[in-house]
């Protein structure tokens, strides 16, 4: 059995309940349990390491940074809390996001009660992430062909600010293009009668017994988290 | 009559001049009508008026006249009602695709009009079968090629069962084989009874569809309306009147004794994860005086090869020599001083608040001294015909054609010895594209060699003194245009001659 075999609504419910519980709970033992649950979900998702190693590298830097800041300015307990929270949320996010079929995004939220427009906006977001990445790569190439180099050997604050400014030739073309293209995309949607009335969604979703079990377990997890917060502080 | 337009005028909000002036036209079922005109002549505005985007989405302009669509005035129809009568395919298919999967994309309009699921599925499969794209239904839309995207967009439009089809420059992003397949499809749809309105810049190519009628727009008005024979005569007469008597702009072909500016020796390259090589042992020289048209179907390796010249990609095997130096030892910035690369879409590079900042970006990156830079910028603007513009002006306020010229000027200002132009005519009408290339070739202090990556045979014939044909990551022909473009075998391998007659569909 794979994580994808659960209905996407059940997976989203699990994710929301787990992350809410992680944010509510302060007790280190419970947080550790939730972190293990997140890692368990990720293992269950069987996402290839190659696909997520760069994301984990970024997450590890972030976790190390917030842990260090908490150690410096707060306490070791708070540092451990934040680190466990970050691990649990990162693992659960990867487990759900990397196994989610983008074509199911809209219908999932529509069937969870969100309006057509909101649900389709999520579909559109999934559709345009690869386009944005491609446009960004083309812009990087176009500016490098004009002798542009991002690297700055100056590691001082001023050097970092210089690097920040040097992103402008990369960011502006991508943003301007996205804004200009949005008009064409809105026109394309208008021309196919989007938003003129109630729409049919082609995909169908079916909740099976295992999905009900996962949803019930997710709410139990959330209730447990709230109870832990109330009882253990 | 499918569409009947009477006395149509439209002025966009905040613009003084009308985009359309008193246009009266009709489009008939079972006919292809070719609509041509230079950029800004009103072609796209005409399409927007017919499909209802004007006035439904462009609300603040001033509209006069009447459009009747299948005997009903469009003024009383909603966009959804119009969408079921008139389908529109816009210029860039990538901008019209809104779903992540092909099946959902074709179903999108049908979902929006609330058709029952079973009917949607049946109609999607029917139209996919009709266009022979059933194998694409489960594909992610972002993995489609330009030609496949075009077919999917047409399928999504036809799924709404329109009785008229508006095509706004549908060939713009297609290579020659895909363009000819698309034209055959348009012909077939018209023969099946649909009124097809084909707006196109690539006039010579579009005439292969054997349109029943041709309409030319000029400055918002109808300048010609008649059959194809009359249109050809009208075009010839116009060319004669517009010919300024200048000598043909072509440079003499380079000789083997000319200095080599850029050389590829047995270059191999494969993209990570790709099943085969993108370049399979390419060797050729770009010499002083060369004006090369680098041609071939999408995926032939043309752009990959050009990116090797500037170091954006590095060969897996083989060597690239730029002005006597091994490119492997040079950074992209160092190579950019010798080889200029203008990307297809100017929007990929324009970022600055002023033309001055935009045009000095490249020269400054390569360390050009300020006084020389000022001179180089002035020369570059002169070359592309924009010297009348203020350097304090924003590049974002310019038309697409002017932005394309700014992009070329931005690279010319770096004073490269070789200039690579990726699809120099994309998005430009024939007149604007010819003007830009004439200026580049006439420039006294321009690049010593030009490489144009292009699908445009007419451009190659008119401007190139050498044509390099690529197919499957290899060079299949290299020589003067008259030899290369007459080499049927090489042309067929490079996908520049259709393997099947156009009308077969």
Name chain A contacts of B56, Cβ cutoff 8 Å. 190
pTM of the shown model: 0.79
Confirm if A148 and B333 have CB atoms less than 8 A apart.
Answer: yes
What is the pLDDT at residue B500?
Answer: 47
Across the range A98-119, mean pLDDT stands at 89
pLDDT in tens, chain B (505 residues): 789 999 999 999 878 889 999 999 999 999 999 999 887 789 989 999 999 988 888 888 999 999 999 888 988 888 888 888 999 998 888 888 998 899 999 999 999 999 999 999 999 999 999 888 999 999 988 888 877 888 899 999 999 999 999 998 888 767 777 788 888 889 999 999 999 999 987 788 889 899 999 999 999 999 999 999 999 999 888 877 655 544 445 666 666 677 889 999 999 999 887 778 899 999 999 999 899 999 988 788 898 999 999 999 999 999 999 999 999 999 999 999 999 999 988 888 999 999 999 999 999 999 999 999 999 999 999 999 999 999 999 998 888 888 999 999 999 999 999 999 998 887 777 778 888 889 888 887 778 899 999 888 888 888 999 999 999 899 999 999 988 988 888 888 777 775 444 443 3
Q: How many angstroms away from the CA of A75 is the closest CA of chain B? A: 46
pLDDT cut 70: percent of chain A above it: 94
The 10 Å CB-count burial string (b at 16+, else e) for B482-498 is eebbebeebbebbbbbb
| From B79, B310, B361, residue closest to A193, measured CB to CB | B79
- Residue of chain A whose alpha carbon sits nearest to that of B357: A169
Q: Cβ contacts of residue A61 below 8 Å, gap of 6+?
A: none
Which B residues, 319 through 338, put their C-beta within 8 Å of a C-beta on chain A? 331-333, 336-337
Q: Which CATH architecture has domain B3-242?
A: 3-Layer(aba) Sandwich (3.40)
Which B residues, 263 through 302, put their C-beta within 8 Å of a C-beta on chain A? none
DSSP track, B347-389: GGT---SSHHHHHHHHHHHTT--HHHHHHHHHHHHHHHT-TTS
| pLDDT band, residue A153 (cuts 50/70/90) | low
Q: Cβ contacts of residue B486 below 8 Å, gap of 6+?
A: none
Could you tell me how many CB contacts below 8 A there are between chain A and chain B?
172
Interchain CB contact of A56 with B (< 8 Å): no
Q: How many angstroms away from the CA of B246 is the closest CA of chain A? A: 34
CATH of domain B250-338+416-495: 3.40.50.300
Which of A191, A197, A199, A204 is the best mutation test for B, with the most CBs of B within 10 A? A191
| From A169, A176, A185, residue closest to B347, measured CB to CB | A176
Give pLDDT tens digits for A170-185.
889 989 888 888 888 8
ipTM comes to 0.80
What is the pLDDT at residue B245?
Answer: 45
Interchain CB contact of A50 with B (< 8 Å): no
Confirm if B377 and B352 have CB atoms less than 8 A apart.
Answer: no
Query: Distance between CA atoms of B105 and A124, rounded to whole angstroms?
Result: 11
Interchain CB contact of A180 with B (< 8 Å): yes
| pLDDT band, residue A60 (cuts 50/70/90) | very high
Q: Map tokens 């559709």 to a residue.
A: A127
B3-11/B62-69 β-pairing: antiparallel
Whether residues B112 and A143 touch (CB distance < 8 A) is answered with no
Whether residues B361 and A146 touch (CB distance < 8 A) is answered with yes
- Residue of chain A whose alpha carbon sits nearest to that of B82: A191
End-to-end CA distance of chain B: 26
User: Of A43-57, A145-159, B481-495, where does the model show the most confidence?
Assistant: A43-57
Kindly report, as residue ranges, where domains of CATH 3.40.50.300 are found in chain B: 3-242, 250-338+416-495
Q: How many angstroms away from the CA of B478 is the closest CA of chain A? A: 26
Name chain A contacts of B53, Cβ cutoff 8 Å. 187, 190-191
Interchain CB contact of B305 with A (< 8 Å): no
What is the pLDDT at residue A154?
Answer: 58
Name chain B contacts of A122, Cβ cutoff 8 Å. none
| From B108, B141, B362, residue closest to A192, measured CB to CB | B108
- Residue of chain B whose alpha carbon sits nearest to that of A169: B351
What is the pLDDT at residue B19?
Answer: 93
Query: Distance between CA atoms of B282 and B453, rounded to whole angstroms?
Result: 16
Which of A142, A151, A167, A196 is the best mutation test for B, with the most CBs of B within 10 A? A142
- Residue of chain B whose alpha carbon sits nearest to that of A194: B112
Residue (of B144, B165, B146, B143) closest to B154 by Cα position: B165
Name chain B contacts of A177, Cβ cutoff 8 Å. 347-348
Which A residues, 84 through 143, put their C-beta within 8 Å of a C-beta on chain B? 102-103, 105, 123-124, 126-127, 130-131, 134-135, 138-139, 141-143
Whether residues A190 and B78 touch (CB distance < 8 A) is answered with no
CA-based torsion, B170, B176, B182, B184: positive or negative: positive
Which B residues, 116 through 145, put their C-beta within 8 Å of a C-beta on chain A? 116-117, 120-121, 140-142
What is the pLDDT at residue B4?
Answer: 94
Min mean pLDDT across A157-161, A189-193, B21-25, B161-165 is at A157-161
Whether residues A184 and B80 touch (CB distance < 8 A) is answered with no
Name chain B contacts of A194, Cβ cutoff 8 Å. 108, 112
DSSP track, chain A: --GGGS-HHHHHHHHHHHHHHHHH---HHHHHHHHHHHHHHHHHHT--HHHHHHHHHHHHHHHHHHHHHHHHHS-HHHHHHHHHHHHHHHHHHHHHHTT--GGGHHHHHHHTT--HHHHHHHHHHHHHHHHHHHHHHHHHHHHHTTT--------SHHHHHHHHHHTHHHHHHHHHHHHHHHHHHHHHHHTTTTTSS----S------HHHHHHHHHHHHHHHHHHHHHHHH-
């Amino acid at each position: 059995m794979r994580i994808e075999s659960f209905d996407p609504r059940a997976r989203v419910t699990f994710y929301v309940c787990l992350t809410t519980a992680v944010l509510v709970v302060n007790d280190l033992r419970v947080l550790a349990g939730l972190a293990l649950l997140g890692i368990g979900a990720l293992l269950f998702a069987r996402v290839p390491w190659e696909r997520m190693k760069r994301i984990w590298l970024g997450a590890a830097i972030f976790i190390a940074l917030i842990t260090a800041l908490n150690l410096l300015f707060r306490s070791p307990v708070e540092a451990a809390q934040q680190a466990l929270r970050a691990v649990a949320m990162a693992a659960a996010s990867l487990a759900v996001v990397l196994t989610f079929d983008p074509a199911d995004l809209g219908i999932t939220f529509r069937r969870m009660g969100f309006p057509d427009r909101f649900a389709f906006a999520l579909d559109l977001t999934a559709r345009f992430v690869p386009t944005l990445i491609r446009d960004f790569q083309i812009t990087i190439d176009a500016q490098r062909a004009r002798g542009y180099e991002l690297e700055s050997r100056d590691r001082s604050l001023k050097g970092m600010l210089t690097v920040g400014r040097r992103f402008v030739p990369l960011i502006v073309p991508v943003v301007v293009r996205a804004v200009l293209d949005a008009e064409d995309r809105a026109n394309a949607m208008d021309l196919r009668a989007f938003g003129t009335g109630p729409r049919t969604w082609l995909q169908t979703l079916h909740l099976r017994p295992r999905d009900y079990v996962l949803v019930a377990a997710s709410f139990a997890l959330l209730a447990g988290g709230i109870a832990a917060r109330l009882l253990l502080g | 009559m499918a569409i009947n337009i009477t006395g149509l005028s439209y002025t966009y909000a905040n613009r003084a001049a009308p985009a359309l002036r008193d246009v009266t036209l009709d489009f008939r079922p079972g006919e292809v009508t070719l609509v041509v005109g230079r950029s800004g002549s009103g072609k796209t505005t005409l399409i927007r008026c017919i499909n209802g985007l004007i006035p439904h989405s462009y609300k603040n302009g001033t509209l006069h006249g009447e459009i009747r669509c299948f005997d009903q005035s469009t003024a009383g129809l909603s966009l959804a009602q119009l969408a079921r009568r008139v389908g529109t395919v816009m210029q860039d298919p990538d901008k019209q695709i809104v779903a992540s999967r092909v099946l959902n994309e074709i179903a999108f309009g049908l979902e929006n009009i609330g058709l029952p699921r079973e009917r949607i599925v049946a109609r999607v499969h029917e139209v996919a079968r009709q266009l022979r794209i059933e194998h694409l239904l489960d594909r992610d839309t972002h993995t489609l090629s330009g030609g496949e995207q075009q077919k999917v967009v047409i399928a999504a439009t036809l799924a709404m069962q329109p009785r008229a089809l508006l095509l706004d420059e549908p060939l713009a992003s297609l290579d020659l084989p895909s363009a000819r397949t698309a034209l055959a499809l348009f012909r077939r749809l018209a023969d099946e009874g649909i009124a097809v309105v084909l707006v196109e810049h690539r006039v010579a190519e579009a005439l292969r569809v054997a349109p029943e009628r041709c309409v030319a727009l000029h400055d918002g008005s109808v300048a010609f309306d008649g059959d194809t024979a009359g249109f050809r005569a009208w075009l010839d007469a116009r060319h004669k009147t517009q010919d300024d008597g200048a000598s043909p702009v072509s440079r003499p072909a380079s000789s083997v004794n000319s200095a080599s500016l850029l050389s590829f020796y047995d270059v191999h390259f494969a993209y990570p994860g790709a099943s085969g090589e993108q370049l399979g042992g390419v060797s050729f020289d770009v010499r002083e005086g060369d004006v090369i048209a680098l041609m071939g179907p999408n995926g032939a390796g043309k752009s990959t090869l050009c990116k090797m010249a500037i170091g954006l990609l590095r060969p897996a095997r083989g060597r690239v020599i730029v002005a006597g130096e091994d490119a492997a030892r040079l950074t992209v910035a160092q190579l950019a001083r010798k080889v200029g690369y203008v990307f297809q879409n100017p929007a990929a590079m324009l970022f600055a608040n002023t033309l001055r900042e935009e045009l000095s970006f490249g020269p400054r990156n390569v360390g050009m001294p300020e006084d020389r830079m000022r001179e180089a910028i002035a020369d570059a603007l002169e070359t592309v015909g924009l010297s009348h513009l203020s350097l304090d002006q924003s590049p974002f306020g310019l038309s697409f054609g002017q932005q394309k010229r700014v992009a070329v000027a931005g690279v010319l200002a770096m004073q490269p010895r070789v200039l690579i132009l990726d699809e120099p005519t994309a998005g430009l009408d024939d007149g604007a594209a010819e003007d830009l290339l004439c200026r580049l070739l006439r420039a006294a202090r321009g690049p010593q060699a030009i490489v144009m990556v292009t699908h445009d045979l007419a451009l190659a014939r008119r401007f190139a003194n050498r044509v390099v044909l690529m197919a499957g990551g290899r060079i299949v022909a290299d020589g003067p245009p008259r030899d290369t473009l007459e080499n049927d075998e090489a042309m067929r391998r490079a996908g520049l001659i259709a393997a099947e007659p156009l009308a077969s569909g």
